[in-house]
Amino acid sequence: MQDPYEILGLSPQADDAQLREAYRRLARENEGNLRRMEKLNEAYDSIVLARGESCGGTRSGTAWEKTAPPPPGFADIRQRLQAGRYDDALTLLDGVPLPQRGAQWHYFKGLAQRGKGWLEEAEKHLCEAARLAPENAEYQATYQNLRQSRQGGYRARRAAAEKEDDSGCCGLCLGLCCLDSCCECCGGDLIPCC
């Protein structure tokens, strides 16, 4: 996904009023262009959502970056992860002070490393996240998936799919046999040889 600020032609420092203004102007210009509008809406929504999260739910017109401390929710990091900017996300994560590095920090770090292709580090951080927050279903599911893939998950799935195909064939034969028996009961014969 493209950077939402880039789509709206803004810098990330723009305040909410500028954001609304830019969105309205672009929306007027691209009124007939559905695809472009969809992109604009998506970009606007993602920024508003991210700002809402980082400001604790209030969408006031003040400059949000000054009022909001960065860590709660890691909204800006989540946003960069969604945009596929993994190196940026890693830089931000490295800037988080040590005492604030909880389960969520490890989770995001794991996702960013995974996106970058550093799978061994990703495994370590996702494991740590799952260990620190055993009640969080998202972290647990991600870690379980990863563990399965380490044990050759895709091969197991392929094997299972092939087995299903086989049983499909057996099912067909069985069905034909049954049909034949039924026909014979009524005096007919579907398969003459048996």
Partner 1 sequence: MFGYVRISRPQLRCAEHDLYRGVYCSLCKELGARYGPLARLILPYDAVFYALFALAQQEKPPVLRPSRCSFNPAKRCLRCEKRNKALVTAADISMLMVYYKWRDTIADEAGLRRLLWLLPAPFFLCSGRRAKRLAPEAAKKIKSACAAQRIVERKEAPCLDECAHPSAQALGELLAATAESAKHAAALRRLGYLLGRWVYLMDAADDLEQDRKRGRFNPFSAHFDQPEAERRAFLQAQLNQTAEELLAAWEAVPLQRYRPIFDNLFTLGLPAMEATVLHTTRKERKRRAGSL
Which positions touch partner 1 (CB under 8 A)? 84, 113-114, 117-121, 123, 146, 149-155, 158
Q: Which is nearer to partner 1, 120 or 166 (CB)?
A: 120
Q: Name the minimum Å distance from CB 1 to partner 1.
A: 10
Distance, CA of 159 to CA of 165 (rounded, Å): 10
Structure tokens belonging to residue 147: 């563990």
Q: For residue 50, give the amino acid letter.
A: A
Q: Which is nearer to partner 1, 93 or 146 (CB)?
A: 146
Q: For residue 96, give the amino acid letter.
A: V
Q: Which is nearer to partner 1, 78 or 114 (CB)?
A: 114
Q: Which is nearer to partner 1, 161 or 173 (CB)?
A: 161
Structure tokens belonging to residue 38: 């969809």
Q: Name the minimum Å distance from CB 61 to partner 1.
A: 35
Distance, CA of 4 to CA of 43 (rounded, Å): 4
Distance, CA of 141 to CA of 95 (rounded, Å): 27
Q: Name the minimum Å distance from CB 60 to partner 1.
A: 36
Q: Name the minimum Å distance from CB 87 to partner 1.
A: 12
Rg over CA atoms, the chain: 27
